[in-house]
Chain A
Amino acid sequence: MQVTITVNGVPVTRDIEPRLLLVHFIRETPGLTGTHWGCDTSNCGACVVLMDDKPIKSCTQLAVMSEGHDIRTVESLEVDGRLDPVQQGFHEKHALQCGFCTPGMLMTSRALLDENPDPTDHDIRTAISGAICRCTGYQNIVAAVRWAAEHPAVEKQEV
Chain B
Amino acid sequence: MQTPAPFEYERATSVEGAIASLERLGPEARIIAGGHSLLPMMKLRLANPEHLIDINDLDELSYIREEDGEIRIGALTRHVHLLQSELLRRWYPVFAEAETVIADPVVRNRGTIGGSLCQADAAEDLSAVCSAVKARAVIRGTAGERVVSMGKFHVGPYQTAVGAGEMLTEVRLPMRPGGGSAHEKVERRAGDFAIAASSAAVWIDGGVITDVGLALSAVGPITVHVTRAEELLRGKAPSEELFAAAGEIASADCSPTADGRGPVDYKRHLAGALTKRALRRATAGALRQEA
Contacts of A135 on B, CB cut-off 8 Å?
A: none
- Once bound together, how far apart are the Cα atoms of A19 and B52, in whole Å? 10
- Once bound together, how far apart are the Cα atoms of A111 and B5, in whole Å? 32
* In the assembled complex, A18 has its CB within 8 A of some CB on chain B: yes
Query: By the criterion CB–CB under 8 Å, are B54 and A65 in contact?
Result: yes
Given the interface pairs A19-B3, A56-B109, the reply to whether A130 lies near B103 with Cβ below 8 Å is yes
Given the interface pairs A54-B109, A127-B105, A129-B104, the reply to whether A19 lies near B36 with Cβ below 8 Å is no
* In the assembled complex, B266 has its CB within 8 A of some CB on chain A: no
Find the B residue at minimum CB distance from A43.
B191
Query: By the criterion CB–CB under 8 Å, are B3 and A42 in contact?
Result: no
Query: By the criterion CB–CB under 8 Å, are B40 and A42 in contact?
Result: yes
Query: By the criterion CB–CB under 8 Å, are B107 and A17 in contact?
Result: no
The count of A-to-B residue pairs whose CB atoms sit within 8 angstroms is 75
24 residue pairs from A and B, CB less than 8 Å apart: A19-B7, A40-B1, A41-B2, A41-B43, A42-B36, A42-B107, A43-B191, A56-B106, A56-B109, A57-B106, A57-B107, A60-B40, A60-B110, A62-B9, A62-B39, A64-B54, A65-B32, A65-B54, A130-B104, A130-B105, A130-B106, A130-B107, A131-B104, A131-B106
**Given contacts A64-B9, A64-B54, could you give 5 more A-B pairs where the C-beta distance is less than 8 Å?**
A20-B3, A42-B36, A60-B39, A126-B105, A129-B105
- Once bound together, how far apart are the Cα atoms of A20 and B104, in whole Å? 24
Query: By the criterion CB–CB under 8 Å, are A108 and B106 in contact?
Result: yes
- Once bound together, how far apart are the Cα atoms of A48 and B106, in whole Å? 8
Tally A residues with Cβ within 8 Å of B. Answer: 28
Contacts of A126 on B, CB cut-off 8 Å?
A: 105
Contacts of B36 on A, CB cut-off 8 Å?
A: 42, 60
Query: By the criterion CB–CB under 8 Å, are A62 and B35 in contact?
Result: yes
Query: By the criterion CB–CB under 8 Å, are B35 and A61 in contact?
Result: yes
Find the A residue at minimum CB distance from B100.
A126
B159 to nearest A CB, angstroms? 23
Contacts of A21 on B, CB cut-off 8 Å?
A: 3
Find the A residue at minimum CB distance from B8.
A18
- Once bound together, how far apart are the Cα atoms of A129 and B105, in whole Å? 8
Segment 36-59 of B: residues with Cβ below 8 Å from A: 36, 39-40, 43, 52, 54, 56
* In the assembled complex, A98 has its CB within 8 A of some CB on chain B: no
Question: Binary interface profile of B, 1-19, with partner A (CB < 8 Å = 1, else 0)?
Answer: 1111111110100000000
* In the assembled complex, B190 has its CB within 8 A of some CB on chain A: yes
